[in-house]
Amino acid sequence: MKTDIIRNLDDEYGKTFFYLIIYLLVSFAGIYYLTGYLFKVDKGLYLILLVVIIVQLIFSLYIYNNSKKIRQDKLSLQQIKDLKIYTQQLESSQRSLRKFKHDYQNMLLSLKLSAKKSHDKELIDKLAEYSSKTLEDKVLWQFNDVDNVKDELLKSLFISKLNRIFQDNIQYSFECRDVIDSLSNKYNAFDIIRILGITYDNAIEESLELGDEARIDTMVYRENGELEIEIKNRCRNTDLTIQDMRKSGFTTKKNHDGLGLANIEELSQPYNDIFINYQIKDGWFTFLMVMSI
């Protein structure tokens, strides 16, 4: 049965952790030899050396955890950088598609009026059929309003999750009529992104279980110096309560590590001015987060 110490040797930071263990082992053995065999020390000095050993252990663990966090942040930043490039290209494509749709609708209207004057019913029918297949393509509006979100981290998250929802054929809507420049510096942006990411993942998980009736709606507001983000998803009829969902490890799927709401509570705990509320009503689960901007 693996202990936490041995288990850490198996991850990607195992080599650094292994060298840390060797360093501490050699240090402890050296101090033990010096105090126990080479020099005769009194109890006072022995206690001082013991304190030094404990401080060294704490400092070594701090260095290890800090090094691990730096490497993880670098990886996250690289992923965000790649997604940012994709976002810029996608926004440009979306603007072109919306302009094309607007111009094409005007062109079709002109052709339709011309066809009516000549009483060409076959041409009218073909135009109507073609427009219904081409112009109503939901791909054109897959990321509608996302371009109003200027904060790169927030925008990348919305695009990533909306694309996943779209690929899973889940009905959805996204509304952001106000320009969101950036998140407040008082928050760790990664905490906010993780909170929203967990919320979307839970909504998608429930939607896949629900089937054809599934729907996920997102509304982003900015008012009076506050940013409100509301994510709603249809949910199955259940006796579960918000208290159940707040429990650590909660999930509705077998053999699955549930995120539930416990992780969200933990991430939002350090911030006194972030308001988070959950509600289950009329077959909808609603997540609301309000914070300064």
Cα gap 246→256, rounded to integer Å: 16
Neighbours of 124 (CB within 10 A): 16
Over the stretch 13-44, which tens digit does the pLDDT of each residue have? 677 778 777 887 887 787 777 777 766 666 67
For residue 255, what pLDDT band results from cuts at 50, 70 and 90?
very low
284 or 27, which is more confident: 284
The SS3 of residue 51 is: helix
Structure tokens at 123: 């041409």
Query: Which amino acid, one-letter code, is at 217?
Result: D
Q: Are 146 and 186 in contact (CB under 8 A)?
A: no
Query: Which amino acid, one-letter code, is at 254?
Result: K
> 62-66, 129-133, 275-279: lowest mean pLDDT where?
129-133
Q: Are 201 and 228 in contact (CB under 8 A)?
A: no
> 5-9, 212-216, 229-233: lowest mean pLDDT where?
5-9
**Which phi and psi angles does 36 have, rounded to 5°?**
-95, -25
Cα gap 202→196, rounded to integer Å: 10
Query: Which amino acid, one-letter code, is at 192?
Result: I
Mean pLDDT computed over 127-135: 61
Residue 250 has pLDDT above 60, yes or no: no
Residue 199 has pLDDT above 90, yes or no: yes
Structure tokens at 33: 């030899």
Task: Name the average pLDDT for the chain.
Answer: 77
Cα gap 229→187, rounded to integer Å: 15
**Which phi and psi angles does 233 have, rounded to 5°?**
-140, 145
Model pLDDT, residue 232: 96
- How far is Cα of residue 136 from the mean position of the Cα atoms in its chain? 30
Over the stretch 139-172, which tens digit does the pLDDT of each residue have? 555 567 888 898 888 888 888 888 889 889 999 9
Cα gap 113→115, rounded to integer Å: 5
